[in-house]
Structure 1
């Protein structure tokens, strides 16, 4: 498979938005299922692209997945502090999983973080149930940072995002 990682093109935003929303929905990662308001955020690739770099994994002109790379201090950052970049909303189409797209997207974010002046760490948040993603992150050198775990919806006690960091 000829897999290419590159910035998303505006004509690909809708497809990537659906891939991302479907991945989160079908993997049971949304608290309110199909009624979850976060689905609108996941579909808004144009909004992400205006605030950070959105990368896609493409094979034979088909978008397989994507990720948001947030350089230090970017408005899309959830947990990144000074000297850190963040990756967010990593998603791969179910039909394309196991073909290396997710790993290639994470590696591309790490490469971009290394190329960002003053950046010493790449950080991310993940849900407890995303065991396949955890294995990928750990295989690529990320380590758990439990002291940074957080709750994006403080009014819901059972939601706690786990955090990982890759020292560059």
Structure 2
């Protein structure tokens, strides 16, 4: 599955030989914007490990092939995290955009891809978790119609004893979203 759009961005599944590059891209995207532990940054960068069980999507420049961003979704019938309810929701994680590609709408295109994927799979909602400090991501999600799901939020205890509130967001999927995204 590959999606093209008028901005020259193509979204497709990551190739195995791109795992290290995609790992660096997403780690740099997170490390450049957020104060995160080395353990979590290593998890973010572990793209090859994730790709064994899940789908790692990349946004690439259609003309040059340069990697612009990435997002991870579960395979059909699976889920990535406890935020998703079995059977009718698709969750996604590790959305990251290269610093040089920011302002091109790459993050928005990746989220639209996820909602189109959910529609194609006959799912009714897309959900995700984010942290309080991830303000730019929250603005993107809210602009795209996601709303907080307070009842699904939880506190994560770090190994150092501190805790962080993990926010949940969700958005219902338009049944025509899949067809519209593939037509673009």
TM-score (norm 1): 0.88
Equivalent residue in structure 2 for 1:70, among 42, 51, 74: 74
**Map of 2:117 onto structure 1:** 112
Q: Residues of 1 paired with 2:121 and 2:75: CA distance?
A: 7
Q: Which runs of no fewer than 5 residues in structure 2 stay unpaired?
A: 1-6, 174-184
Q: SS of 1:64's equivalent?
A: strand
CA contact 1:150–1:160 (8 Å) conserved in 2: yes
- Residues 1-150 of structure 1 aligned to structure 2 (within 5 Å): 1-30=7-36, 32=37, 36-59=38-61, 60-71=64-75, 74=78, 76-82=80-86, 83-117=88-122, 119-150=123-154
Q: SS of 1:56's equivalent?
A: strand
Q: SS of 1:108's equivalent?
A: helix
Deviations 1:83-112 (CA, angstroms, capped at 9, x unpaired): 111010000111111111100001000000
**Alpha carbons of structure 1 residues 24 and 160: separation in structure 2 relative to 1, 3 Å:** same
Q: CA deviation at 1:2?
A: 1.1
**Map of 1:166 onto structure 2:** 171
Q: Residues of 1 paired with 2:138 and 2:153: CA distance?
A: 14
**Map of 2:182 onto structure 1:** none
Q: CA deviation at 1:78?
A: 3.6
Q: Which runs of no fewer than 5 residues in structure 1 stay unpaired?
A: none
CA contact 1:52–1:70 (8 Å) conserved in 2: yes
**Alpha carbons of structure 1 residues 29 and 107: separation in structure 2 relative to 1, 3 Å:** farther
CA contact 1:10–1:46 (8 Å) conserved in 2: yes
Q: Residues of 2 paired with 1:10 and 1:91: CA distance?
A: 18
Q: In the comparison of the two structures, how many residue pairs are matched?
A: 163
Q: Residues of 1 paired with 2:50 and 2:11: CA distance?
A: 17
Structure 1 range deviating more: 43-52 or 153-162: 153-162
Q: Residues of 1 paired with 2:108 and 2:139: CA distance?
A: 11
Deviations 1:62-100 (CA, angstroms, capped at 9, x unpaired): 101100012565253241112111010000111111111
Structure 1 vs Structure 2 CA RMSD? 1.8
Q: CA deviation at 1:152?
A: 3.2
